[in-house]
Structure formats: C-alpha cells, structure tokens
Chains A and B, each alone.
Chain A
Amino acid sequence: MAERIANIILLVEDRNQETLLRRYMQRLGHDNRNMRSQMSPRGQGSGEQFVREQYASQVRALRRTSTKACLIAMVDADTGSIDDRRQQFEQVLREAKENPRSPSGPILNLIPKRNVET
C-alpha cells in the first residue's frame, strides 16, 4: 500500500521551523504527502546540532536515490552570522567526504537571521 513518495525532505531544528516550512510549501502548491520532516528530538529550542549531524547523511541519501527529491535544511543564525552557518554546512559535507552543494542543485540551506520567530 506504500503509494506515497516523499520528495521534499525537511531537516529542521524544531516545530516552529517545521510548521513555517510546511505551510510555505503548501502555499507553493505542495502537499503534506510529498514532505518528510526530520526534526530535533528536543522538539523545541536549539536543535542546530541535530541538523548539522543529520545533514551529511541526508545529503548522501538524496544523492544516491533514484527518486527525484530535494532537501531543505534550516538552521537559525541566532547571534552568529549567516556566513558562519553556511560555512558550517560546507564543513559538514567536507568532513563526510561529500561534494559541496551546488547552487542549482536539489539541496537548499535556509538560515533565518536571527531566527524564525523574528
């Protein structure tokens, strides 16, 4: 009965980010059934470490699957700079020996500054 295919993977820190992203994707015409949410076990508060830890394996899985899918990873910049966060994402991929993200590829890093609440 597995008839649903998730082709938008949301890798997020918490429920606020998940809700914001899902609702935005819905506005763009996407359905909950196309989305798969991966959220920090904390559920609330800082899940930035969780997103970084999961990022490389999600990128790897995305690049190996034959399904046309995309990954949207979101981390608040908090008190740091957007560039710091961007470099952290790049560093994670380097350490995992994964090719860097291509700007036109299916991986999107979202870095709200200072956070989604603001």
Chain B
Amino acid sequence: MTCDRRPLFEFVEGEVHLFNDNFEQKVKYPFDWFRSALATVQPRPENTKLMQFKKWIENLHCLELNPHAMSGVTDREEPDPAFDMSNFASWYRHMTQERADSAAQLQDRLRQIIPGLGSLDLRSAGANQRSLEARFIILPESSPPNYFAISFGELSDGHRVLICLYALLNLVVREGACLFLDEPENYIAIPEIQPWLMELRDRIEDLGGQVILISHHPEIINYLAPEVGLVFERVGPGPVRVRNYEPDPSLPPAEQIACGWSVDG
C-alpha cells in the first residue's frame, strides 16, 4: 500500500514491512499468508496515514438487503450492518446508543413515510434480549393514542427494506462513508424508489459521502444513469469491463439498455 507512490505497508514473501508517516521502513515481521496483516496493525503516533486508510475502510459498507434474513430480536449491539442486514435490530440497537440524534431523525422520517407508524422501539424481551417493534397508532385523535405493536420480523418485506434504506440514509451516508448497495429497489413498491433516490442525492450534496448503487431497475437507471451511470459488461466468460454510460438522446436509458444498444462515438 502506498501514499503518493511511497510505501506505507508491504507484504513480501510472508513478511510484513511497516513504514512510518515519513515512509521510512521501521518494522519487519513474518505473518500468516492467509490473513490480513493490515487488520492487525495497531494505531501508533508514527502510523497515522496507515490508520487513516483503516478508518476509511471501516466506513466502507457493501450491502445486499435481504428481508427474509432480518430478525426482529437482538441480544447485543453490533456497530456495523451485516452484508444482508440480517442484524438490523442489533445494528439499530447500537445506533440508538451511539448516534441518538440521527436515530431520532430516522424515526421522524419513518413516521412521514409509513402511514400510522408511531415509533420503532426496542422492547425488553428477557436477559440482554430486546425485540424491535413497530408501533402503529390506531386512533391518533384519541388521548392517549391507542397503539398496536408489530415485531420488526412480522412487517412486510417491503416495509422492512424501506426502513433499512432510510436507516442507511440517516445513519451511514455522510462525509467519509462509502456505501455499495446491490439492487436497493428489491421488495419495495415502485412509487418508493424515486423519492429515496432524491433523498439520497440531497443527502450526498449536503453532507458528502459516496454511494454506488448496482441496479437493473428502470426507475434507478433512468434517474441516475444519464449523469453518473457506469455500465458493467461481460462478454462470454471473459472479464467484466466497465465503461461510462453514453446517453442516447432519443431513448430513456432503461429502454436503451433493454434493447442492448450502445451509442457509437
């Protein structure tokens, strides 16, 4: 690993070479070929550049939401969302402690998005266990309002994914964060896609961060491809090639891709 083409970290023939912030080699030691040595390097005053990279990596998330794997019960806090967000309840539990303001903003937003939703609560369910529940208001005009609660695991697939998508916006997307999200449109209703994309754009413009969406859905392709689209292509069993999307002024991008046409020149 290099910075300005000068070394910070090397792994050569089974040996780790560590360099300080002035790119001077300071330590050399053997290490297991099958493990990431970088993950084991501890912060020290002289390796701030290397630690900066590690910190950035910690803010890089690759996710593919799978509502069937999401449980409504948590027995611990987890600082990072799992690849399929199966640990949403545990991650949300962590975020309500570490980023209480953002979690409160998420609840406010979800109330606007899911009609009748009162709150998303973590209720005690035994020793260390908590159950994530969505509380819905039956009679908002009554005082106190009447609620009924549904376990997160019992919500529809679409609602679970929608909650996760807005949680990612509120709790992950910010300066320094990088999110890869595979097919975010899965399970959610078509009218929900563009508003989420709009909010994503606004958030990145306002707060920074980077999001890479992988999608085959016309809503996403038409909204984003003309401006920031990349096309991934594989011919036969060969390597995947990446190129900038070239808009065709006469066709919506999704239609162009559906036809398999590319623009010459």
Contact = CB atoms under 8 A, between A and B. Distances in A.
A61 interface: no
A43 B114 CA distance: 31
A41 B247 contact: yes
Interface in A31-53: 31-33, 35-37, 39-44, 50
A15 interface: yes
Chain B, interface size category, equals: 20 to 34
Nearest to B156: A1
Contacts of B226: 15, 39-44
Interface string B215-257: 0000000110111000000000000000000011111110010
A92 B110 CA distance: 41
A6 B114 CA distance: 15
B207 to A, nearest CB: 15
B202 A4 contact: no
B188 A1 contact: yes
Interface residues of A, number: 23
A41 B256 CA distance: 10
A31 B195 CA distance: 9
Contacts of A23: 202
Nearest to B202: A32
Given A1-B158, A1-B188, A3-B115, A43 B227 contact: yes
Contacts of B227: 15, 43-44
Given A3-B114, A37-B223, A43 B247 contact: yes
Given A15-B227, A41-B247, A33 B112 contact: yes
Interface of A: 1-6, 15, 19, 22-23, 31-33, 35-37, 39-44, 50
Given A32-B195, A33-B112, 8 more contacts: A1-B159, A1-B188, A2-B189, A2-B191, A41-B253, A42-B249, A43-B227, A43-B247
